Structure 1
Amino acid sequence: MTTPHSQETHSARLLASATDVWQAMQEHRFVVDIERDRLPADAFTRYLSYEGRFVETAMAIFGYALVKADTIAHKHWLIGVLHALSTEQVPYFERTIAALDLPPSYHDVPLPAAVSAFDSGMLDIARNGTYEEVIVSMLAAEWMYGTWCTRANRAPASNPFVREWVALHAEPTFLGQVQWLRAQVDGWSAQRFDFERSSTIFRKVLALEIDFHSAAYGG
């Protein structure tokens, strides 16, 4: 017997359940400003200072996923993700922050509430959630980035640092990571996939991302 959702993948169902917040993020001022090559320099600097500090949290999140993964193949892939974060994204932030001459004390500046909420919210899911919940949370974040960055990368920004950041999220390694996360979710049995819980997490992450990117404009 088939159900209305039996022909849909789990990831497609998650996306359909979050159309409003997904579109809000895809049409966010930050995204549109990059696509139209008009992102204010101060907004990008703020964003970098926030996102650069979040990379450590992202490594912790994937570390929790690594510990909770149930097969050696999954653990092996997640080790690769951690390697990419440490060898691609960390150097990008170190290089860019140095080039922009941000003061060494920027790490000590209190984060806006929306940025702190994003950081703590994502870490809480990873620390206290199941393997499945961690995977769903990262799918929401990385699928969102991969989608708009692929679009923006077709018309590269004039700012070389913005251009490089977008390209990092539109290149095959990152997009392959998004596909791996989707394949993980889509491969779960109906019993393993808790749609209600997964949908709640998927929507929560996108809402946190919206507020996080809004914080780049200050105020």
Structure 2
Amino acid sequence: MTTQHSTTHTERLLAANAGPWQAMQEHRFVVDIERNRLPADTFNRYLAYEGRFVETAIGIFGHALIKAPAIAQKHWLIGVLNALSTEQVPYFDRTFAALALPAPRSDARLPAGVTAFDTGMLEIAQQGRYEDVIVAMLTAEWMYGTWCTRANRTPHDNGYIRDWVALHAEATFNAQVQWLKAQVNGWSAEQFDFERSSAIFAKVLALEIDFHSACYEV
């Protein structure tokens, strides 16, 4: 007697996008961190780009909050927004000060990959449904949680890199990923538009790949 395995929505999305997912997991930026060889100036550029994105992330989750269908989702998303504003923003402020880096300017010229990531993610939130925003953020945070958990097992000489990796491997971040997964997996067959969600999953991975590649541009 055989037992039929029921594939979850998130498992389907990952299987359908195995190529770009693996490309991001094996990205030069990720490998350099895992092998303790990421140049400090590359990481500093990454921090500047990622620090700017926190403001965009607040807008993205703000759209999700407005579009959320029930109070339970709204309550969780309020917590996410609070963490972004009271934990993430101060983290970047402290790190920029410690590294003597200038605070990111809103009018600064950015590499195309950074601009595309910022505008592309925000457009999904502005133009899409609640489900679209959740899939987009799941893709980004699941991807981060996966490689950072792996990279967190190996030492790194740069304490700022080590702390950033650990931040995305800790229980709090993993709980956020699990919540996003539970949202997607909890949708009914009628509510879950696989083709639409898979296209968003693929788009976010492509944006992430270009974003991280831009950190090497001088």
- Shared fold per TM-score greater than 0.5: yes
Instruction: Letter of the 1:58 partner, please give it.
Output: A
CA distance in 2, matches of 1:198, 1:127: 16
User: What is the identity, as a one-letter code, of the residue corresponding to 1:195?
Assistant: F
Q: Distance in 2 between matches of 1:189 and 1:201?
A: 18
CA positional deviation for 1:16:
0.4
CA contact (8 A) 1:125 1:133 kept: yes
C-alpha offsets along residues 43-76 of structure 1, whole Å, 9 cap, x if unaligned?
0011011000000000100010000001101000
Greater shift, 157-166 or 204-213, is seen at 157-166
Counterpart of 2:203?
204
Q: Does structure 1 residue 32 correspond to structure 2 residue 43?
A: no
- Partner of 1:217 in structure 2? 216
Alpha-carbon offset, residue 156 of structure 1: 3.2
Residue 8 (1) aligns with residue 7 (2):
yes
Give the aligned partner of residue 195 of structure 1.
Answer: 194
- Runs of 4+ aligned residues of structure 1 deviating over 3 Å after TM superposition are 104-108
Task: Give the corresponding residue for 2:70.
Answer: 71
Q: Show structure 2 runs of 5+ residues with no match.
A: none
Q: Say if 2:51 and 2:104, in contact at 8 Å, map to a contact too.
A: no
The answer to whether the 8 Å contact 1:49/1:106 transfers is no
Q: CA offset at residue 104 of structure 1?
A: 4.6
Distance 2:188 2:103 in 1: 49
* TM-score of the two chains, using structure 1 as the length reference: 0.95
- Alpha-carbon separation, structure 2, partners of 1:203 and 1:105: 28
Indicate the residue corresponding to 1:93 in structure 2: 92
- Provide the residue aligned with 2:171 in structure 1: 172
Question: Partners of 1:109 and 1:14 in 2: how far apart?
Answer: 36
Identity fraction in percent: 72
Say if 2:157 is the partner of 1:158: yes
**How big is the shift at 1:105?**
6.6
Q: Is the 8 A contact 2:96 2:103 kept in 1?
A: no
Unpaired runs of at least 5, structure 1: none
Quote the offset at 1:109 in angstroms.
2.1
> Which one-letter code corresponds to 1:93 in the other structure?
F
Cross-structure match for 1:141 = 140
3-state secondary structure, aligned to 2:215: helix
Q: Tell me, yes or no, if structure 1 residue 115 matches structure 2 residue 114.
A: yes
Alpha-carbon distance in 1 for matches of 2:104, 2:60? 25
Answer with 35-44 or 105-114: which moved more: 105-114
How far residue 108 of structure 1 moved from its aligned partner, in angstroms, is 3.5
8 Å contact from structure 1 (residues 64, 126) kept in 2: yes
1:141 alignment partner AA: A
TM-score by length of 2: 0.95
In 2: Cα distance, 1:163 partner to 1:58 partner: 23
Residue type at the aligned position of 2:65: L
